[in-house]
Structure 1
Amino acid sequence: MGFDQENSKRAGSKRAGRASAAIGALLLLAGCMTSGRDTYQTSGINEWLTTENADTVVNAMAAKGMIPATIDCRFADTTPSQLAYLSKFTWKRAPANTRYHWEVGDPTYLASKEVKSNRVGLRRVFAKVVRDPASGQKVGCSIWAS
């Protein structure tokens, strides 16, 4: 449930020309806004992204030279074995040679990703944990960067 920028750059460089028109259209439809720092905004309830939508938005923003500055997360469904999460990001310009990785999931899953990220030289730059009041379940979201 995350995005590996380094692998995406390798694969994406071959198709960047073809994808730039599609990305431009996506960003035009989704809405891009600047205020102090570059941020990505959508309107109303669409601001919360499913995992699939989040991957698409992160890829589009990476193509614009942006990286996630913060991530927010919440449950979309807390049914046992059917857990679904939603994410929301703010963005900033990517410093030169910055690698990053983001994840959303239960705290145990995130702990394993923390270990893996540290092994490749990434450090946690943002994290949040949310508890569902009805079920007591927790979901966390983190961003690691070099």
Structure 2
Amino acid sequence: MKPKFRAYWEHTHQTSEVTEINYKGNWVCDEPYVVVDGRCDLIPLRECTLMQSTGLKDKNGVEIFEGDIVRYTWDMLSDVNATEKGKKVRISKVFWSDWRASWAIGKKCCNNDLFRYVINGNTVEVIGDIYTNPELLEVIK
């Protein structure tokens, strides 16, 4: 699988798909830069944040990236927070878990494998990302 990235550029407050990453620079930009879809600018790497694709898609077919905020469910019929269909709903950001060696959701100290949630029939839906929609995470604090 070829790694795929998205970049958040603080200058414009926009997230775009990365089409090229150059670590050497060139005569136009003498430092490492990225090229994003829909722009002709060479964005210095130090001015943006890269988010790697997990290679997974949510229930709507939207590709899930590191830094995305997802709403996900799992069966917990006895839980007081369960919905009418018996599934508990949570909101979390997507991040890389070193100790799991996989993409994860939940808390840093207690998290779950994102792959497991996507493939086992539980609902995972991208609802935003940590840069353009940080208020979505404030709901769970």
TM-score range for the pair, normalised by the shorter chain length: under 0.3
What TM-score comes out, normalization by structure 1 length? 0.23
Structure with higher RCO (Cα < 8 A, 6+ apart): 1
Q: TM-score scaled to structure 2, two decimals?
A: 0.23
Name the structure with the higher strand share.
2
Bigger proportion of residues as helix: 1
